[in-house]
Amino acid sequence: MKLILRYVRPYRRLILTVMAIKLLGTGTDLLMPYVLEHLLDHVIPAADSAWPVVAWSGVMFLLTWITRVLNVSANRKSVRVARESTFAVRRDLFHTALNLSGSQMDQIGLPSLISRMTSDTYNVQNFIRMIQTMGIRAPIMLLGGIAITLTMDTGLALILCIMAPVMIVLVCFVSWKGIPLFNEVQRRMDMLVRRMRESITGIRVVRALGKEPYEKQRYGEANARMMRQEVKASVIMSLPGPIVTLFLNVGLTLVVLIGARRVNDGHTAPGVILAFLTYFNMILMGVMGLNRIFMMMSKANASANRIGEVIDLPEELTPLPAEQLAEPQEEGMLIFDHVSFNYDADTPGEAHGQFLGEERQKCLDDISFRVKKGGSLGVIGATGSGKTSIINLLMRFYDPQQGHVFVDGKDVRAYERDELHRKFGVVFQNDVIFADTIRENVTFGREITERKMIRAAADAMAGQFIEGYEDAYEHKAAIRGANFSGGQKQRLLITRALAAEPEILIMDDASSALDYRTDAKLRKAIREHHGNATTVVIAQRISSILSMDEIIVLHEGKMIGRGSHAELLASCAEYRDIYRTQMNEEEVV
Amino acid sequence: MARDTVMKKPKDTRGTLRRMLKYLGPWRAVIAGVIVLSLLSNLLNLWGPSLAGSAIREAAAGPGRVNFDAVKHDAGLMLLCYLSSALLGFLISLIMTVVSKRVARRMRQDVFDKLMRLPVGYFDRHQAGDIISRVSYDIDVISTSMATDIVQILSSLVTVVGSLVMMVSISLPLSALTLVTVPVSVAYTVYMRKKTQPRYAKRSKCYGTMNGFVEEMLSGQKTILAYAYENRVDERFGGINRDAADAFSDAEHYGVTLGPTMTAINNLGLSLIALLGGILFLNGRIDLGRISSFVLYSRKFAGPINAVAEVFNELFSALAASERVFSLLDEEEESADVPDARLLTNVRGDVRAEHVTFGYEPGKTILHDLNLEAPAGKLTAIVGPTGAGKTTIINLLMRFYDPDSGVIRIDGQEIRTAVRRSVRGAYAMVLQDTWVFQGTIFENIAYGKEDATMDEVVAAAKAARIHPFIMRLPQGYDTVISEDGGNISKGQKQLLTIARAMLYDAPMLILDEATSNVDTATEREIQKAMRELMKQKTCFVIAHRLSTIENADQILVLRDGDVVEQGTHRQLMDRKGFYHQLYAAQFE
């Protein structure tokens, strides 16, 4: 709820206006039966001509018109508040999500993040929209109804005064019980969506293995669980309605009974009983409105909390003050200084159902290397040996637990994030292509001239196939780049990395889908046209790294070899093995 | 906003409604029951005020002359009446809740089942987020509306008709006056439907777009940050967010006038009744008690009409939502198996492609005239420069797509005339794009084989060289992993999917860059294990590391969609052709 309050605060004036207008509107609405009763009980019996009747009807017409104008205007203003505040919630949530640190992202998980971004914001939006008007109308109808009946006949109204609190307590109690039920509904919805997403992303595997029935059944289970929970929550929440109606109607019967007695005793007029019937209805609607408000509130509250959890995450990996930084090193140097790192070092035990691999050995264990400006580093090692983690630290998606990382001679923690990242051109392992034009996928909003882009494409061996399209650089990539082959994708990604002529070029398994010929040409082009860039290449293919100034060999997070190709051949048995397996005896001639 | 973009031609509302009703079909007996119950409940509700009215008439006798026996009698009946109507009310909402949630479940399942039948290409053209928003948002809108709206409309009908009868019996002129308001309400509702329907449709669409964008961007978050692209993405989201916000308020702008306007029309009716009633009274044509009960009934009468207006508003948005759901359900499916399609059984694994041409888009042919022959039990490697069409061949073999012309045969049988599932079942497949789902490692490996035992899974994991890694995890094979989850590397995922394929016992095997993220030493070891597995099996291997395919029985060299060379590694090297060039390039 705090989150919602925070986001509607800028519109408090507008909200106050809405409420004021709604108050007036509800007031005039409530006045209608009062005027009618007056007309029936006093004006008509006493009238000797039609004029008073016409005049009072005129009052009713006027009230009708005013009520509509007021309510429409209040409703529309409330829509505006909902629109603007939800817009802001979504904007900030997206912004936060986009800027989460690596470990924060791991913690929340993508599917959950997306559902917070979508269905949770819808719930909040609906709530903000409805609460402003219903939040006024329902209590006013309730209290106003009671107040008016009190002025009409205090004795009879007392019946109400006894019943109203009982009903309200009842409604509150049920809603209070209902909130956790709705939280659970939301969780199960998350699960359902996750299953669906998994089946969509894995559609080829599902089809290939003929697992459609299994997927249907798996999804079906989640679907059934979701339904059961929803029925449970909804049934409990639908209890108050009939009970409240019953209460009020019992009250009504009492009013008739006692009212008849009071009429008999001359304390009240029969018209009053009639008016009571009308006002009872109004009070009933007020209570039902409150019921609905509680229901929405329980849903919205669950959602707001989920949103708040993300929005209120502290910004991690911000620049540190100078005194906490490591001593600057020689300009242009890329340095790992005794770096040790683990992904989940500071995540609490079972707090999140993602990946509970606490007990793993360190991802990186005491890694050190130095690369000069314009120099090159190759990283090779078995699957899961920590190669990608080096990049994660270099670009500060994570901070290491021990040791220091330097880029351009400065501790990476000294940089503003974008300032640091602008030095890089990077291709991640299985990097993404967005559903946009090739141009946008390459330039990414950076100021890159046409000439530079074309040059980069040529260097990345992508120019030819791009220009093969009629619309060349305006050619649109399909979702996840599905209209490109694996190799075409990688060449586009490399184009992206080269386009801004970065100071540091990073390629993580970036050419694994390229044939050797293309790969060799690519290396040559990079050497010739991007020789000034400090280059870090991670690869499985030894040919991709063997010409690097220095190569490090990783094994289960430890550095087991460091040196040039020739040195490693002499000193590192594992490296020699890799080399042998890749270069068959005969070709090593 | 341009008018024409909003005011699209109204869709086939009646058709959509009919399809919605179809979903309710299995429940027609229950719904008939609900109709009867709500009839009863509403009759009771109507009877209540009439009892109250008669009690008041007794009271109207004035001080000292009230007949208490009659009043008590009426009150007793009222109590009974309200008690049973409350019970019925609860029963009705209980039933409708169950029905609507079950229908929602049915729809969600139908959407999913449909997804399982759509061609693979559909998922290359639609963002997962957009598809999902139909399940999470649109169906939710529909079910919410169904739970309350149907009962509302039903009970409204009863109440309206019942009240009308009572009203007419009280005073014909006053009833006529009240009825004037009905066409006004109806006309207004129809008018609003025209206004709001396309806007609700647009709102749903905007939400879908937004979901798709969010999903796409957050999936690529790391890349976005790496290129300091986030401000631009933020900005673009700003636009999409703004569109969604505007679509919301644009629809609601009209939507929210409905309620107050209906109230106004009813109040108008009430004022008219007061006016005419007063005049009739002055002319001695009606007594006060009758005006009072008439007012009561006209309130009853107006109440539901008012409610129906709101209900219609919800119905419109539900209709817009169901149109989106149905449009997905109407997508063209993978072509059905031909009428007398044969089940491929006991596949030996002779695969032939004859004069196959294919392109993903019309006019853009990728494979021009592909001929290939993969004899049973042999290893066929497909190599070629990037973009030569290697993966496309796999897509055709697996019947993810069908060729534009030419035929592909397995054991002489054209695969188009075979049951599609049996074609796919003949292959085990490992793709470069790894896929794991949220579940234990055991479940992920055993995915292809339902009754796999722990021993089999462990054996497969050992063969895929992932066993030691698994054993280092705190819960071993019971460790839960997920696609987006923490620190399992790409290469490790790839090993898991290889283990999965090893366990899946199929006569043929497709490896499309299956070990591209795996280090070569591990790859070698896996291959040893694979060789064991691949004995007697027809295998297709796509790999760029030519060293990994040298032992292939035949190598097809692909260039621009054509097989340009074919032979063993030795033969091709001797030929000093394109393959030789490719091979030599490794060591440049």
Residue A377 has pLDDT above 50, yes or no: yes
* Closest Cα in chain B to A249: B82
Is the CB of residue B244 less than 8 Å from the CB of residue A89? no
The CATH number that domain B349-426+509-515+543-588 falls under is 3.40.50.300
Hey, which residues does B83 pair with through a beta bridge? none
Of B211, B435, B521, the CB nearest to A201: B435
Decide if B282 and A44 are in contact by the 8 Å CB cutoff. yes
How many angstroms separate the Cα of A83 from the Cα of each of A299, A412, A429, B318?
Answer: 19, 40, 40, 20
Decide if A47 and B105 are in contact by the 8 Å CB cutoff. no
- What is the per-residue pLDDT for B585? 66
Q: Give the residue range(s) of CATH 1.20.1560.10 domains in chain B.
A: 17-329
Decide if B249 and A79 are in contact by the 8 Å CB cutoff. yes
Q: What is the pLDDT of residues A43-90, one digit of tens each?
A: 777 777 778 888 888 888 898 899 899 989 998 999 999 999 999 999
Count of positions (residues) in chain A: 589
B469 contacts on A by Cβ (under 8 Å): 384
- What is the per-residue pLDDT for A161? 76
Mapping DSSP onto H, E and C, the string for B327-354 reads HHHCCCCCCCCCCCCECCCCCCCCEEEE
Place of tokens 């906490």: A324
- What is the per-residue pLDDT for A320? 87
Largest Cα separation within chain B, whole Å, is: 125
Classified as helix, coil or strand, A379 is: strand
A50 to chain B, any CB pair closer than 8 A? The answer is yes
Place of tokens 């089809």: A207
- Look at A212-216, A296-300, B584-588 and tell me which has the smallest mean pLDDT: B584-588
CA distance A441 to A444: 6
Which CATH number is correct for A2-311, 1.20.1560.10, 1.10.645.10, 1.10.10.10, 1.10.3720.10? 1.20.1560.10
Is the CB of residue A128 less than 8 Å from the CB of residue A8? yes
B135 to chain A, any CB pair closer than 8 A? The answer is yes
The whole-angstrom distance between residue A570's C-alpha and the CA centroid of its chain comes to 52
Place of tokens 């099996």: B537
Mapping DSSP onto H, E and C, the string for A541-587 reads CHHHHCCCCEEEEEECCEEEEEECHHHHHHHCHHHHHHHHHHCCHHH
B250-269: b (≥16 Cβ within 10 Å) or e: bbbbbbbbbbbbbbbbbbbb
CA distance A425 to A395: 11
Determine the average pLDDT of the residues in A153-162.
Answer: 78
The DSSP letter of residue A479 is: G
* Closest Cα in chain A to B522: A382
A241 contacts on B by Cβ (under 8 Å): 89-90, 93
For chain A, the structural domain boundaries read: 2-311
Q: Alpha helices, DSSP H only, in B330-453?
A: 390-397, 420-425, 441-445
Decide if B248 and A514 are in contact by the 8 Å CB cutoff. no
CA distance A495 to A484: 14
A540 contacts on B by Cβ (under 8 Å): 516-520, 523, 545
- What is the per-residue pLDDT for A275? 74
Going B154 to B155 to B158 to B164, the CA torsion angle's sign is negative
Q: Min CA distance, A516 vs chain B (Å)?
A: 5
Is the CB of residue A124 less than 8 Å from the CB of residue A86? yes
A268 to chain B, any CB pair closer than 8 A? The answer is no
A514 to chain B, any CB pair closer than 8 A? The answer is yes
- What is the per-residue pLDDT for B9? 39
pLDDT tier, A336 (very low <50, low <70, confident <90, very high otherwise): very high
Q: Give the residue range(s) of CATH 3.40.50.300 domains in chain B.
A: 349-426+509-515+543-588
Average pLDDT per block of 10 residues along chain B, 588 residues long: 36 79 86 84 77 76 75 84 85 87 91 88 82 83 80 74 82 81 81 84 87 87 84 89 91 85 83 84 79 76 69 80 88 83 82 88 81 86 78 86 89 87 85 80 86 89 85 81 67 84 84 75 74 78 73 85 85 86 67
Q: Min CA distance, B562 vs chain A (Å)?
A: 16
- What is the per-residue pLDDT for A52? 83
A235 contacts on B by Cβ (under 8 Å): 94, 97-98
How many angstroms separate the Cα of B75 from the Cα of each of A159, A253, A566, B87?
Answer: 15, 6, 105, 18
* Phi and psi, residue B434, nearest 5°: -75, 155
B257 to chain A, any CB pair closer than 8 A? The answer is yes
A95 to chain B, any CB pair closer than 8 A? The answer is yes
A468 to chain B, any CB pair closer than 8 A? The answer is no
pLDDT tier, A535 (very low <50, low <70, confident <90, very high otherwise): very high
The residue type at A155: G
Q: Most A CBs within 10 Å: which of B196, B258, B484, B528, as the mutation test of the A interface?
A: B484
- What is the per-residue pLDDT for A118? 82
Classified as helix, coil or strand, A103 is: helix
| Structure token pair of residue A277 | 């019937």
Is the CB of residue B356 less than 8 Å from the CB of residue B367? yes
A196 contacts on B by Cβ (under 8 Å): 112, 115, 131-132, 135
CA distance A159 to B574: 105
Mean residue pLDDT across chain A: 83
Q: Min CA distance, A93 vs chain B (Å)?
A: 11
How many angstroms separate the Cα of A34 from the Cα of each of A63, A276, A547, B153?
Answer: 12, 10, 93, 29
Q: How many CA atoms lie within 13 A of B115 on its CB side?
A: 31
A567 to chain B, any CB pair closer than 8 A? The answer is no
The DSSP letter of residue B418 is: B
CA distance B494 to B485: 15
Q: Which residues lie closer than 8 Å to B176 by C-beta, 6 or more apart?
A: none
B104 to chain A, any CB pair closer than 8 A? The answer is yes
* Closest Cα in chain A to B516: A512
Residue A350 has pLDDT above 80, yes or no: no
Decide if B582 and A84 are in contact by the 8 Å CB cutoff. no
Is the CB of residue B538 less than 8 Å from the CB of residue B378? yes
Residue B387's CB is within 10 A of a number of other CB atoms, namely 24
CA distance B536 to B350: 11
Is the CB of residue A482 less than 8 Å from the CB of residue B549? no
- What is the per-residue pLDDT for A361? 60
- What is the per-residue pLDDT for A356? 40
CA distance A322 to A331: 17
Q: Min CA distance, A210 vs chain B (Å)?
A: 6
A513 to chain B, any CB pair closer than 8 A? The answer is yes
Beta-carbon pairs below 8 A across chains A and B: 554
Which CATH architecture group holds B17-329?
Up-down Bundle (1.20)
Of A250, A263, A487, the CB nearest to B82: A250
Decide if A117 and B218 are in contact by the 8 Å CB cutoff. yes
Helix (H) or strand (E) holding A335: strand A334-341
CA distance A448 to A257: 85
CA distance A152 to A456: 85
Of B220, B245, B519, the CB nearest to A83: B245
A90 contacts on B by Cβ (under 8 Å): 241, 244-245
Mapping DSSP onto H, E and C, the string for B526-581 reads HHHHHHHHHCCCEEEEECCCHHHHCCCCEEEEEECCEEEEEECHHHHHHHCCHHHH
How many angstroms separate the Cα of A170 from the Cα of each of A15, A146, A566, B177, B541?
Answer: 29, 18, 82, 41, 68
Decide if B234 and A95 are in contact by the 8 Å CB cutoff. yes
B132 contacts on A by Cβ (under 8 Å): 193, 196-197, 200
Q: Min CA distance, B234 vs chain A (Å)?
A: 6
CA distance B69 to A418: 87
Is the CB of residue A332 less than 8 Å from the CB of residue A396? no
Q: Most B CBs within 10 Å: which of A18, A214, A263, A470, as the mutation test of the B interface?
A: A263
| Structure token pair of residue B116 | 């399982």
CA distance A483 to A481: 5
A95 contacts on B by Cβ (under 8 Å): 234
Going A521 to A526 to A531 to A537, the CA torsion angle's sign is negative
Q: Which residues lie closer than 8 Å to A52 by C-beta, 6 or more apart?
A: A43, A46
A7 contacts on B by Cβ (under 8 Å): none
A40 to chain B, any CB pair closer than 8 A? The answer is yes
**Contacts with B, A 386-415, CB within 8 Å:** 388, 395, 397
A239 contacts on B by Cβ (under 8 Å): 90
How many angstroms separate the Cα of B441 from the Cα of each of A72, B477, B492?
Answer: 57, 5, 11
The residue type at B69: D
Helix (H) or strand (E) holding A6: helix A2-8
Q: What's the pTM value of the predicted model, to 2 decimals?
A: 0.79
Percent of chain A with pLDDT over 90: 17
Q: Min CA distance, B58 vs chain A (Å)?
A: 8
Is the CB of residue A233 less than 8 Å from the CB of residue A182? yes
B101 contacts on A by Cβ (under 8 Å): 227, 230-231, 234
Decide if B238 and A250 are in contact by the 8 Å CB cutoff. no
Which of B16, B17, B15, B6 has the alpha carbon at shortest distance from B203?
Answer: B6
The secondary structure of B183-205 as a DSSP string is HHHHHHHHHHHHHHHHHHHHHHH
**B520-534 and B490-503 helices cross at what angle (nearest 10)?**
10
Q: Which residues lie closer than 8 Å to B421 by C-beta, 6 or more apart?
A: A210
Place of tokens 């097989």: B563
B513 to chain A, any CB pair closer than 8 A? The answer is yes
Decide if A231 and B136 are in contact by the 8 Å CB cutoff. no
Q: Min CA distance, A207 vs chain B (Å)?
A: 7
The DSSP letter of residue A118 is: I
CA angle B414, B416, B422 (to 5 degrees): 90
Q: What is the pLDDT of residues A469-528, one digit of tens each?
A: 888 889 988 887 877 877 888 899 999 999 988 999 999 888 877 777 788 888 889 888
| Structure token pair of residue A328 | 């600057």
The whole-angstrom distance between residue B135's C-alpha and the CA centroid of its chain comes to 4
B109 contacts on A by Cβ (under 8 Å): 216, 219-220, 223
